[in-house]
Amino acid sequence: MRFRLFALTAVLAASAAGAASAHHSFAMYERERIVTVSGTVREYDWVSPHVTIEVVRDGAKGVDVWPIEGSSPTVLSRGGWTSSLVKPGDKISLGVHPRKDGQPGGLLADDREVLINGRPAKGVLWLTPAEDNCAH
């Protein structure tokens, strides 16, 4: 009986460790830098563990697709985000921490205003508005 209990405990511990190690860090992003990405929403996934927005925009070498990673739906909902806030085809402008490797993509920055179809996203909060955003 003790062996079965030990084996069950070992299996549960191993499965929990696997799930914990599967979560990645945000080390691939330049957290000290913010760029503004403007384009058309191709996809908006409101799923755990991270909300993602794919933005298509004209880049230096043609059309770029920017996968932008956000926090979890729970965290973003505290800032006013919803599952229906953004739709494919919407024009969007938002701040992101770009990837360190120079590839298109980034991490959603929480200190820039989000514009959807040329207007501030209704109800979406940002922590520290940039100086140029204070004129609203």
Q: Where are the domains of the chain?
A: 35-128
Residue 42's CB is within 10 A of a number of other CB atoms, namely 14
pLDDT along the chain (136 residues), means of 10: 48 44 69 94 96 92 93 91 95 95 92 88 64 40
pLDDT at position 24: 59
CA–CA separation, 45 vs 84, rounded Å?
Answer: 10
pLDDT at position 4: 53
pTM of the model: 0.72
Residues in the chain: 136
Confirm if 91 and 58 have CB atoms less than 8 A apart.
no
- CATH assignment of 35-128, among 3.40.50, 3.30.750, 2.40.50, 1.20.1260: 2.40.50
